[in-house]
Structures are given as structure tokens and as C-alpha cells.
Amino acid sequence: MRINRKKLTLIIASLCGTGSSAIALGQEFTTNSPASSVGRIGDGGDAAPGLSPQAANPVDSRPAAFQSDTYGDNMSAGQSSGEYHDPSMQIASYGMTSGGTAGGTAGGSCGESYGNPNGGASYGAGCSNGCNGTGRSNGWFESETLLWWGKAIPGVPLVVGGSTPDATPTTVLAGGPDQPFGTNLLVGMRLNVGKWLDCNQDYGVGARGWGILTNGTTETYTNGGNSTGVPFFNTFSSSPSIYNVNEAEAGQGANTGTIQVKNDLDLIATELYGRTALARTGTSRVDLLGGYTFVRMDSELGLRTQVTDGLTGNLIQNGTITTTQDTFGTKNQFHGGHIGLLQELTKGRFTFSALGKVALGNMSQSSSIRGQFSTANTASPTSDPQGLFARNSNSGTLTRNQFTFLPEAGAKIKYQLGRAQFGVGYTMLLFPSVAMAGSQIDPVIDPTNSSPVPAPRLVSDTFFLHGLDLGVTFRF
């Protein structure tokens, strides 16, 4: 049987309780359209004018949750009234217009939001709510104890010894390739603090500072039943010589004394840097680092001898105390920029990281040499502003500037415990062009001061530091 559109309309109208003048499918409902007093199925809305009071004020038989359409007047033209919001659900309402409030209060600081233009609550998928929800940190603070060693500085032999009091001392006790200076453990501290500039942790800024501050080491050498002295090359006699501190001669007594060698190294560094994510996944990331670097390295090497004369048959009065003091000090200051990469990989509670960077800039070097000679416990005390190696010809200060680079490499493994990470790592730093105190000593001297030797000098060395890092990191 074939049903045309008119018959289908009448069938649907009869089912819905409307009269023969009911609206046709697809037509808009108007207030001028008469409606049946029976009303539509499940609808208790007002009937058209002129209907009975029961029809004009019907009882709404719908469930309470559906009796109020919260979209109400907020609907744009052309939107269906069949969309309902249950007022018992505590969620922000969606404004059904294209002009929703940007940056909705329920959403946070960024992301799309849809707002109610008539003052209703707005909704947005904001970043700040997302950061708090995922537990991402806003910054970091790291404190580390440094247990490092530096490159030994061979320099020249400063102390030699003999097997007996009257033997010529030839065995190197301090200095030179066999007994270099700077082999002791260096203890320091490093701090690293920073903050993320966005909730996705794409951009951040930070500052890092570290230092090795020591009181230096002092070694004292006495005769111990053996002969000791300081070797040098005598240009006046054109031969190697020994400045004897402890020696004995058969039948003529002995000279006794001490030799002290002091070695000191102080180093501080600060960095200001920015970091940005180059690549990352759910468990790893690679960041580009860049910023400013300052490094200050000071070194000092001191040599002090004291001899009490006990030999007879010489021109020195017995009991005379002769003291010499040589001090060689250097300062290095670096200013420049750095660039590098930091990679982090997280596996469960463990985080592995690797750092590689290089700083480029100017290294300002200076060397200061001074000496002192004095005699005491004698009828005619003397004093002279020069020592054994710090002579009148080379005493003073020299400075210069050099362009250089400072590489750094390191690796760490950390274990997460609460909001803290406890870790151990390894760091290596290279200083290709620095002035070290031990390298400024020139053993070629003229004890008579008849020739201008040694000449002033400022020697550069390649120095490195390496060792363990023990620390704790907090995310906040």
C-alpha cells in the first residue's frame, strides 16, 4: 500500500494528539497554530490561546531532572531544544554561542575555552589545571658535594734528599715528574636552581654555582738523619747546584734546618642559563642549554727554607738562622658564553642524565712572583726582597688575555624517593689555557745577581678536574 506525504502527516498528528490543523513535518511551530487540548506525549507545556484552563496550565509530568532546560535563553537560533543539562550534575555549563568567554575560569591559563556570554560559568581545557593534574614541577633545586682530583703539576724538583747526612742529596722528595704537586683530594660544593617558564616544561631558566675552596697543603721536610736541599742550575758556575739545608761534614759539624712546600688551589664558577626542549617522549627529553659562564681559578706555590748554621771553617757565624721565602701565585678569570645539551631518561624511580657543553670566551691570566731573604741570631742581621727562585730579575706581576674554550662533560644516576632524588655522578672539566703557580718557577738562577736571570715569564698549562658528585635534587 502506498502512503503519500499527506496521509503520513495525518497519522503522526493523530498519534501526537494534534488536530487536523497540526503542523506538517519540517514546518516551524508558531503561536498561531491551533493545537489539541490533549497535548503531545509526555509534554505538559502551555497550549495555544483559547484552549481550556486545563490545557493552558497543564501539569509537567516529566522527571524533575528534565523539567528545567538550563540552556534556556542562551540557545542560538537554529539549535535544538532537545538538548538538556541535568542541574544535579556539578559541571560548568557550555555556552551555546560561538562567542564563548576565552580563558574560562575552570580551565586555567591557556587552552581553548567556551564561555556563557550571559554570565554563566565558563569551561576551558586550561594548562594550569593540566599541570596540577599531572604533578609536573615548577622548578628544581640541586645540592651536591664534590669529591674531585686535579691534574698534577710537575714543575721543577723543589726538594731533594740524600741517604746520609754527608751525602749529596739527589733523590727527589717533592716536585718534578716523579713527585708532582696537586695530587691531593679536592672537596667542594655545587648548587643548581631553576624554574620552568611554562606548564609544559618547554622553557626554563636557572643558575648554577660551584667551588673548591681549600686551605692548601703544606709538607715539611727535615733532615731525619739524611741530607736535604733545593736543586737549581747556577749560571755563575754553569753547573747544577744544591742549596743545602741539612748537611754534615766530618770534623766540622753540621747545618740543620727545614724545608716547607705549600700548594694551594681555589676555584669558583657561576653560570646563568636558559634551557629549551629539543625533543622528548614520555620518558626522555633532550634540552638545549645556553648562557653565561664565569670562572675564577687561583693557585699558589710557596717554598720556605730555614737553616741554622753549625759548620765551622766558613764565613757564617755559628748559630746564624738563614731564612728564604719564595711565593709564586697565579690568577685566572674567564668570562664567556656556553652552549650544550642535557639528556634525561626516566625508568621507574631511576633517572639517567648526561651533560655535554662548552664555554667560549676570554681568559685573563696573571702571575705574581715575590721573594724574601733574611738572617737572624747574628751580630749583623740582613734582609733582601728576593728568595732562591724569586730574584730581582723576575719578581713582580705579569698579565695577559687569551681566547679559550672550557669543555665540560658529566653523567648522573638518580633514585626517586618522595619528592627528592638522591644521586651519584661523574664530572670532568678541561681548562686548556690557564696559568698555574708551579709552572712559573724557573730553576736557572744567578746567586750573585751579576746577570738578569731568571727572566720574567708567564707560562700557560692545560689543567683538568674530575671526580664524583654526591647530591640530592628537589622538584617543587
pLDDT tens-digit series, residues 191-204: 999 999 999 999 99
Q: Do residues 238 and 251 make contact, with C-beta atoms less than 8 angstroms apart?
A: no
Cell numbers 747574628: residue: 378
DSSP classification of residue 138: S
Q: Do the strands 217-222 and 171-174 form a parallel or antiparallel pair, or are they unpaired? A: unpaired
Least confident range of 1-10, 63-72, 202-211, 347-356: 63-72
| C-alpha cell at position 125 | 581545557
Please state, rounded to an integer, the average pLDDT across all residues of the chain.
80
> In 10 A of CB 325, how many CB atoms?
19
Quote the CA–CA distance of 391 and 372 in Å, as a whole number.
Answer: 9
Of 390, 388, 372, 402, nearest in space to 437 by CA: 390
> At a CB cut-off of 8 Å and minimum separation 6, what does 430 contact?
406, 407, 408, 462, 463, 464
> For residue 46, what are the CA distances in angstroms to 23, 37, 70, 289?
16, 10, 19, 70
Sign (positive/negative) of CA torsion 314, 316, 320, 321?
A: negative
Which of 146, 151, 175, 149 has its CA nearest to residue 463?
Answer: 151
Q: How far is CA 223 from CA 63, 232, 305, in A?
A: 108, 19, 12
- CA 181, CA 51: separation in Å to the nearest integer? 112
Q: Poorest-confidence range of 54-68, 213-227, 319-333, 427-441?
A: 54-68
Rounded distance between C-alpha atoms, residue 204 and residue 274, angstroms: 6
Q: Where are the beta strands (DSSP E) in 281-349?
A: 284-308, 321-347
**For residue 250, what pLDDT is reported?**
87
Instruction: Please state, in angstroms and rounded to a whole number, the distance separating the CA atoms of residues 147 and 291.
Output: 26
User: Do residues 332 and 365 lie in contact, with contact meaning Cβ atoms separated by under 8 Å?
Assistant: yes
322 CB contacts (<8 Å, ≥6 apart)? 305, 306, 307, 309, 316, 373, 374, 375
| Phi (first) and psi of residue 13, to 5 degrees | -65, -40
Long-range pairs for 107-115: beta carbons < 8 A, 24 or more residues apart: 109/199, 110/199
275, 338 contact by CB (below 8 A):
no
d(CA 366, CA 375): 31
User: What is the spatial distance between Cα 351 and Cα 414, in angstroms, rounded to a whole number?
Assistant: 5
Decide which of 103 and 433 is more confident.
433
Please name the amino acid found at residue 350. Answer: F
The answer to whether the CB of 247 falls within 8 A of the CB of 254 is yes
C-alpha cell of 48? 495555544
For residue 42, pLDDT over 70 is answered with no
Q: Per-residue confidence at 178, pLDDT binned at 50, 70, 90?
A: confident
- Give the per-residue SS3 of 230-287: EEEEECCCCEEEEEEEEEEECCCEEEEEEEEEEEEEEEEEEEEEEEEEEEECCCEEEE
- Per the CB < 8 A criterion, the answer to whether 255 and 467 are in contact is no
Residue 262's Cα: distance from chain center in Å?
32
Q: Are 358 and 405 contacting, i.e. CB atoms less than 8 angstroms apart?
A: yes
Count of helix runs (H) and strand runs (E) in the chain = 3, 19
Where do the domains of the chain lie, and which CATH numbers do they carry? 1-66 (no CATH), 144-475 (2.40.128.90)
The pLDDT-based confidence of 128 (bands split at 50, 70, 90) is: very low
Average confidence (pLDDT) over 430-455: 94
The predicted-structure confidence for 310-334, as pLDDT tens digits, reads as follows 998 788 889 999 999 999 999 999 9
Least confident of 129-133, 236-240, 286-290: 129-133
Under a CB-based contact definition with an 8 Å cutoff, are residues 367 and 329 in contact? yes
Q: What is the pLDDT of residue 184?
A: 86
